[in-house]
Amino acid sequence: MSELVSMRTDGGVAVITIDNPPVNAMKHEVRIGLLDLALRATGDPDISAVVIACAGRTFVAGADITEFGKPPRQPTAIAVIEAIEACPKPIIAALHGTPLGGGLELALGCHFRVAAPGTRLGLPEIKLGIIPGAGGTQRLPRLMGMDKAMAMILSGDPIPAREALDAGLVDEIVEDDLVAGAVAFARRVVAEKRPLVLVRNRDEKIAAAGDLAVFDAAAANYTKRARGQNAPVAAVAALRAALTLPIADALKRERELFLELVAGDQSKAQRHIFFAEREAAKVPDIAGVEACDVKRAAVIGAGTMGGGIAMCFANAGIPVTVVETGEEALARGLDTVTRNYRNTASRGGLAPGELEARIGRITGTTDLAAVADADIVVEAVFEDMGVKQDAFGRLDRIVKPGAVIASNTSYLDIDALARSTTRPQAVLGMHFFSPANVMRLLEVVRGAATSPETLATAIAVGRKLGKVPAVVGVCHGFVGNRMLRLRSVEAERLLLEGALPQDVDSALTDFGFPMGPFAMADLAGLDVGWRMRKAQGLTAPIADQLCECGRYGQKTARGFYLYEPGSRTPKPDPEVERLIADTAAQRGITRGTLGKDEIIERLLFPMINEGARILREGIARRPGDIDVIWVYGYGFPVHRGGPMHYADAVGLAYIRDRLGGFEHKTGDERHRPAPLLEELAVAGKGFASLGQ
């Protein structure tokens, strides 16, 4: 008998409890125990109904992801769910926390579902590069209708209990004691002799969906955004089978699609990111260090970044003071924040009352003294060492003892900033990505003197803000921007060698990035990069010239591309092509033709090489940290697992050889294979061998 699953009886109702912390994943022992007890309860004449509940923070949150890719062990989740479904006595799932994936599929196999009010139900498989593999694509549409089921399965996002009740996914919300409520519900079902209509036999809602053309049109909205991912296409195929095949055949089809995906590279990459994301914020030498409770925050600077960071705090329920030097800049910044919130609200993205509540948590001031009671201060002033050091010096005199003083710098030396205070232990980097209220990555930059408490607090705050914190060390540009710099240099080089901006951009979007570097630069404003390059004594042959002609990107309707009035769609510009050709000619470069594969290798391999240096220097602790940074901060396609995971898939020996060729061609010593890359390639190993 499994210790992870137990049974007690409560006046003729059996209560089976799964207790497999932390998230009650349905691992092998759980499946054995659950099946065994469900069968035992079925055979016991004194038992009239069964409740399946979970101990701890959640109902089963899915299959055990660590079992994926290993040979399946009996009983499978499908076998357990089908046995439960076939039970002649009513089985009620008592849901709380996050019944996800295989957990929700288990609940769908039960005859009834009751839920605690805060429950969030979902089928997030798509986020792991797979589809529900234990009947989810067939049973969910039968309960909720095709449109709602498609939205849940293709987005992977959970829905709250109330919405699940309205949609027919849940039969009752239990306000008080969940298990007692579920037992009472079970008794009612028995007393009322309610017929056990199996979800698999409830065809009314999908019969109503009927028209396959309507289904295909709705599905196309999702698959056109798939950018090379297989799972959305497979999910649509499985859902379509619900409309076209008898359920037994459709379940078989779902299983085939699931097995194909789970064995594929994309799901492997996405599982890698799932675990790497959780590892990235773990720092062995601060394990057990308590984070300070952050009740009030302050942000210095009401520009784009400052405003976005303030929104992050307000969204997480933390009151925040925004400080600007002048009234006008402050008003402008706060107006932008309000406008952003109103836009979100007008798209239905905020619950009633939330708009006012969030805006109400943000207070603007020009008086720096107002930060005195903040538990954390994030500086987001102009990206200049002198300006920032001055701000840190002044903050040092005002901020209360024990508070964290963070900089949102994207390049500058955190240790130098720390030295402009009398408490370097309280200083670190919290590098948000633009737009700060949207992008999930938070690079947490640990300075030489940063204390364990400061670091633990920044990580905990990051999590509270819904970010994915990744801890990195101090160097110019930290992990993300340091690697990005190599890609930017290479992208410009490719132009001179024969590619056009649209060739480079489309190679990357075909690879799975949401945008290429030139469309991105136009969106961000070419002047931003130009200013930064000038400050750092760097140049970019084409971008610099575009800026000199006043072509700043979308904001001036001209950059690397042309933009029609009111449009954000980049159009190739013959003038830019001429400028590129002339510049190449002036430099004696003969332009040729570059294929997509070569463009990808030229853009990504030097970045991977830099990643190897970053690892050797200890700036990033694990290859997975770099992957998380690139997936969450720079749009690296998650189904490719981030640059270091991708490098392993390509093979390090091949990358080393290609880099050697690039060095020969460009004369750029950054292309010389990094010692770590070289060593791993020689040993026939990958970055993954360095461990998570």
User: Does 133 help bind ligand CAA (rule: CB under 6 A)?
Assistant: yes
- When binding is defined by CB under 6 A, the residue of 39, 66, 335, 339 that contacts ligand CAA is 66
User: Does 128 help bind ligand CAA (rule: CB under 6 A)?
Assistant: yes
The residue annotated as part of the active site, out of 125, 497, 610, 678, is 125
Strand 320-323 with 297-300, pairing = parallel
Size of the site for ligand CAA (CB under 6 A): 24
In this structure, are residues 619 and 472 in contact, taking their beta carbons and an 8 Å threshold? yes
Q: How would you label 35-54 residue by residue, b for 16+ Cβ within 10 Å and e otherwise?
A: bbbbeebbeeeebbbbbbbb
Judged by beta carbon, residue 466 or residue 595, the one nearer ligand CAA is 466
The nearest distance, CB 361 to ligand CAA, in angstroms, is 23
Span near ligand CAA by CB under 6 A; candidates 56-64, 245-253, 362-370, 652-660: 56-64
C-alpha separations of 182 from 5, 18, 30, 114, 168 in Å: 18, 15, 21, 6, 17
Question: Using CA atoms in the order 651, 657, 660, 666, what is the torsion angle rounded to 10 degrees?
Answer: -80
In this structure, are residues 582 and 574 in contact, taking their beta carbons and an 8 Å threshold? no
User: Does 63 help bind ligand CAA (rule: CB under 6 A)?
Assistant: yes
Q: Is 2 helix (H, G, I), strand (E, B) or coil?
A: coil
User: Does 65 help bind ligand CAA (rule: CB under 6 A)?
Assistant: yes
- When binding is defined by CB under 6 A, the residue of 33, 90, 109, 124 that contacts ligand CAA is 124
Q: Which amino acid is at 269?
A: A
The nearest distance, CB 140 to ligand CAA, in angstroms, is 11
Which one-letter DSSP state was computed for residue 29? H
Strand 441-445 with 427-432, pairing = antiparallel
Span near ligand CAA by CB under 6 A; candidates 121-129, 160-168, 472-480, 497-505: 121-129
Known catalytic residue at 328: no
- Taking every pair of Cα atoms in the chain, the longest distance, rounded to a whole number of angstroms, is 92
Q: What is the rounded distance in angstroms from the CA atom of residue 236 to the CA atom of residue 363?
A: 46
Judged by beta carbon, residue 469 or residue 516, the one nearer ligand CAA is 469
Sign of the CA dihedral 686, 689, 691, 692?
positive
- Site map for ligand CAA, 5-44, x if CB under 6 A? -----------------xx-x-------------------
The nearest distance, CB 282 to ligand CAA, in angstroms, is 7
Which one-letter DSSP state was computed for residue 376? E
Judged by beta carbon, residue 234 or residue 652, the one nearer ligand CAA is 234
- When binding is defined by CB under 6 A, the residue of 85, 105, 503, 678 that contacts ligand CAA is 105
Span near ligand CAA by CB under 6 A; candidates 124-132, 227-235, 473-481, 583-591: 124-132
Judged by beta carbon, residue 102 or residue 473, the one nearer ligand CAA is 102
- When binding is defined by CB under 6 A, the residue of 33, 90, 102, 306 that contacts ligand CAA is 102
- When binding is defined by CB under 6 A, the residue of 15, 81, 134, 543 that contacts ligand CAA is 134
- When binding is defined by CB under 6 A, the residue of 64, 324, 490, 573 that contacts ligand CAA is 64
Judged by beta carbon, residue 25 or residue 659, the one nearer ligand CAA is 25
The residue annotated as part of the active site, out of 85, 105, 383, 443, is 105
User: Does 62 help bind ligand CAA (rule: CB under 6 A)?
Assistant: yes
The nearest distance, CB 179 to ligand CAA, in angstroms, is 20
- When binding is defined by CB under 6 A, the residue of 16, 77, 312, 468 that contacts ligand CAA is 77
Q: What is the rounded distance in angstroms from the CA atom of residue 368 to the CA atom of residue 325?
A: 8
- When binding is defined by CB under 6 A, the residue of 109, 132, 333, 462 that contacts ligand CAA is 132
Judged by beta carbon, residue 388 or residue 622, the one nearer ligand CAA is 622
Known catalytic residue at 678: no
C-alpha separations of 334 from 308, 322, 351, 577, 581 in Å: 10, 9, 21, 40, 44
Joined together, the tokens standing for residue 178 give 């969940």
The nearest distance, CB 340 to ligand CAA, in angstroms, is 26
The nearest distance, CB 316 to ligand CAA, in angstroms, is 14
Which one-letter DSSP state was computed for residue 86? T
The nearest distance, CB 59 to ligand CAA, in angstroms, is 10
Judged by beta carbon, residue 124 or residue 673, the one nearer ligand CAA is 124
Span near ligand CAA by CB under 6 A; candidates 126-134, 219-227, 366-374, 591-599: 126-134
Residues 435-494 that bind ligand CAA (CB under 6 A): none
Q: What is the rounded distance in angstroms from the CA atom of residue 525 to the CA atom of residue 552?
A: 5
Judged by beta carbon, residue 122 or residue 447, the one nearer ligand CAA is 122
CA angle 635, 637, 641 (to 5 degrees): 120
Q: What is the rounded distance in angstroms from the CA atom of residue 505 to the CA atom of residue 74?
A: 48
Residues 271-290 that bind ligand CAA (CB under 6 A): 275, 278
Q: What is the rounded distance in angstroms from the CA atom of residue 192 to the CA atom of residue 310?
A: 54
Closest C-alpha among 565, 571, 554, 680 to residue 616: 680
CB-based burial of residue 569 (10 Å sphere; 0-12 exposed, 13-18 middle, 19+ buried)?
exposed
Q: What is the rounded distance in angstroms from the CA atom of residue 476 to the CA atom of residue 520?
A: 22
- Site map for ligand CAA, 82-101, x if CB under 6 A? ----------------x-xx
C-alpha separations of 643 from 284, 600, 604, 653 in Å: 24, 12, 7, 15
Closest C-alpha among 347, 301, 336 to residue 321: 301
Judged by beta carbon, residue 159 or residue 504, the one nearer ligand CAA is 159
CA angle 545, 663, 528 (to 5 degrees): 30
User: Does 270 help bind ligand CAA (rule: CB under 6 A)?
Assistant: no
The nearest distance, CB 105 to ligand CAA, in angstroms, is 5
The nearest distance, CB 281 to ligand CAA, in angstroms, is 9
159: left (phi over 0), alpha (psi -120 to 50) or beta: beta
The nearest distance, CB 254 to ligand CAA, in angstroms, is 9
The nearest distance, CB 201 to ligand CAA, in angstroms, is 21
Joined together, the tokens standing for residue 543 give 């971008």
468: β partners = 441
374: left (phi over 0), alpha (psi -120 to 50) or beta: beta
| Sites of contact with ligand CAA (CB under 6 A) | 22-23, 25, 58, 61-66, 77, 98, 100-102, 105, 124-125, 128, 132-134, 275, 278
User: What residues are annotated to the active site?
Assistant: 105, 125
